């Protein structure tokens, strides 16, 4: 059967500030898995990835608030925690969907490590803000005592910043392949994967970094030889000049057109659509044939080419 890798945004599991609880996120996951189950019913094998930015932020905040009593949680362990919790939510919802649809499929979450290079330039210029705002005094203390990189954030306070290195290898790839070959729907590279670095003997250790979820999903799709990369986001289609009077919603692009628009700048916002489009380019230039960007409720119609934005090699 054809294989699709589906990347779900971590923010899509949090509808708004009033719906951030575990129960709210569980319901939001169910609203997404219903559409993925329809894709499986249509004959696709599926590997699912997901973001975890807000959820890691919650864990870090809890860790900060309880630091007077309990140990703090390292960033790589935060990633592992969110892979387990969000994976549980997605796999249970998806299994329930399968049962209701009469689909005989198992679902499994793999706590997944993704190797990065210790020489990645991102480690020399950490830029990804994480955790809560701090006073300057607290920021300097964490810098001196814990080796944190900290920056002042537009007059709002100080924050910790970490590197966002490029993903190189999905460590548990063979396990993912075995499960897919056995007909299991696999949830993997959650949050971009737990970033790990190999020493000279090949032994791995966690890194205080975050990996872009869409780039990791593109790498996973390439290493699996996926037929389709689907990036599930908050909009039904991709727009050129988003949020301007020249905004234009697009049905399709070629990879060369996407590269040109990225080079021109201004068409896709950083921190939003631009990283997704770079991930699509990475997948297509690594042998992928097609990618789709749409929101979860539109997935079935998008697969019939009725909506969504398709990008082809």
Residue 291: both structure tokens together:
């990618």
| Element spanning 294, H or E | strand 290-294
Question: Helix 255-264 to helix 273-285 angle, to the nearest 10 degrees?
Answer: 140
Positive/negative CA dihedral, 190, 195, 201, 203: negative
Check 10, 51, 288, 308 and give the catalytic one.
10
Rounded to an integer, what distance in angstroms lies between the CA atom of residue 242 and that of residue 258? 14
11 is catalytic: yes
10 is catalytic: yes
Check 192, 276, 288, 308 and give the catalytic one.
276
71-90 residues labelled b (16+ CB within 10 A) or e (exposed): eebebbebbbbbbebbbebb
- Which SS3 state, helix, strand or coil, does residue 1 take? coil
Check 57, 96, 128, 206 and give the catalytic one.
128
Token pair 């908050």: residue: 234
213 is catalytic: yes
187 and 87 Cβ atoms separated by less than 8 Å: yes
Check 9, 192, 193, 213 and give the catalytic one.
213
Check 11, 30, 157, 177 and give the catalytic one.
11
Token pair 């032994």: residue: 203
276 is catalytic: yes
Longest dimension (CA), the chain: 59
Residues involved in catalysis: 10-11, 128, 213, 276
């Amino acid at each position: 059967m054809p294989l699709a890798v589906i990347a779900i945004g971590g923010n899509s599991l949090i509808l708004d500030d009033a719906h951030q609880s575990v129960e709210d996120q569980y319901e939001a996951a169910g609203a997404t898995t219903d559409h993925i189950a329809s894709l499986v019913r249509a004959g696709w094998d599926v590997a699912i990835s997901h973001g975890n930015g807000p959820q890691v932020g919650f864990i870090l905040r809890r860790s900060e608030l309880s630091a007077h009593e309990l140990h703090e949680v390292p960033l790589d362990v935060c990633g592992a925690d969110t892979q387990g919790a969000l994976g549980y939510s997605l796999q249970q919802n998806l299994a329930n969907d399968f049962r209701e649809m009469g689909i005989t499929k198992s679902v499994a979450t793999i706590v997944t490590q993704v190797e990065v290079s210790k020489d990645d330039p991102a480690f020399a210029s950490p830029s990804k803000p994480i955790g809560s705002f701090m006073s300057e005094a607290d920021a300097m203390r964490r810098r001196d005592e814990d080796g944190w990189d900290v920056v002042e954030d537009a007059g709002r306070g100080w924050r910790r910043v970490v590197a966002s290195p490029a993903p190189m290898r999905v460590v548990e790839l063979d396990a993912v392949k075995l499960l897919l070959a056995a007909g299991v729907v696999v949830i993997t590279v959650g949050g971009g994967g737990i970033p790990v670095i190999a020493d000279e003997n090949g032994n791995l250790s966690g890194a205080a970094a975050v990996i872009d979820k869409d780039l990791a999903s593109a790498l996973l799709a390439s290493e699996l030889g996926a037929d389709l990369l689907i990036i599930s986001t908050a909009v039904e289609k991709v727009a050129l000049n988003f949020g301007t009077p020249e905004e234009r919603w697009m049905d399709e692009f070629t990879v060369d057109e996407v590269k040109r628009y990225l080079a021109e700048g201004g068409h896709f916002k950083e921190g939003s659509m631009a990283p997704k489009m770079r991930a699509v380019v990475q997948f297509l230039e690594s042998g992928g044939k097609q990618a789709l960007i749409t929101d979860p409720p539109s997935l079935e119609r998008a697969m019939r080419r009725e909506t969504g934005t398709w990008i082809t090699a």
